[in-house]
Amino acid sequence: MRHEAGEAGCRTREVDDLAQEHVTVWARPERGTRGPAAVHSRAELTAVAVELADRSGLAAVSTRQVARALGTGQASLYRYISSRDDLLDLMTDAVAGEVGLDVPLGGDPVEDLVALASRTKAVHLRHPWLSDVPPEPLRLGPRGLDYLEYALRAMEPAPLSGRIKMEIVALMNALVAQFARTELQTSRGNASRQAAQTAHLGEAASRGGHPHVAAAMADRTETDPAQVPRDLSSR
């Protein structure tokens, strides 16, 4: 695990050791020229890791399990990557490449971005672990760079600064992740446990003076998206 602050755990965003360079995977070359030919490759590592995550969740992507699925020793992985985070970067970039970028732009930034977001959400649904990858800033690989380029191209007509445009992309992706989360949760998600949770929450709400929560939980109405007013105000 990351020993940056002397402790381990989930992917952290701590202060970097100033002594450490901490280069990205994309900065280091995959192979030198000297030694024997490598048996595997970063692409193979990535494919196996993605497969593993698709089947068993992001937590299943441990160095040992990936190594086993690859048929190699655990320590051997570190010949291809220098940390588990590198592997996450590779995985993220790989699935970013699954978003189709050959769709021609229509010219309206909003419409084009919405279409891109929709295709991105599809990728999230296909790779549920993607919503669980902690959002690290600015760790784009080649595919992610293509993605960003496409999004910025879509926003070309908009009179906004570059920084704002990039923040918009990040924002859009956060929204996509959230949408994907709720969609996954309602679909694949354990109706029994869900109902129990909801019931318990509703009960707690009605018991403790939270009438609006109780009402919202009891509301079985399906809102027709077409009749939702644009500005959310009352009728």
Q: Does 152 bind its own copies (CB under 8 A)?
A: yes
Of 58 and 214, which CB lies nearer to DNA in the complex structure? 58
What is the C-alpha to C-alpha distance for residues 233 and 235, in angstroms, rounded to an integer? Answer: 6
Question: Which residues, including other chains, have CB under 8 Å from residue 144's CB and lie 6 or more apart?
Answer: 92, 93, 96
Q: Does 57 bind DNA (CB under 7 A)?
A: no
Q: Does 27 bind its own copies (CB under 8 A)?
A: yes
Interface with its own copies (CB under 8 A), residue from 19, 75, 187, 212? 212
What is the C-alpha to C-alpha distance for residues 112 and 155, in angstroms, rounded to an integer? Answer: 8
Interface with its own copies (CB under 8 A), residue from 33, 137, 187, 191? 137
The first and second tokens of residue 15, run together, are 């202060």
Given a contact cutoff of 8 angstroms between Cβ atoms, the answer to whether 103 and 119 are in contact is yes
What is the C-alpha to C-alpha distance for residues 67 and 39, in angstroms, rounded to an integer? Answer: 13
Question: How distant is the alpha carbon of residue 44 from its chain centre?
Answer: 20
Q: Does 40 bind DNA (CB under 7 A)?
A: yes
Interface with its own copies (CB under 8 A), residue from 57, 73, 100, 106? 57
32 binds, among its own copies, DNA, none (CB under 5 to 8 A by kind): DNA
| Closest distance of CB 77 from DNA, Å | 7
Q: Helix, strand or coil for residue 232?
A: coil
Applying CB under 7 A, the residues found at the interface with DNA are: 1-3, 6-9, 31-40, 61-65, 72-76, 78-80, 82-85
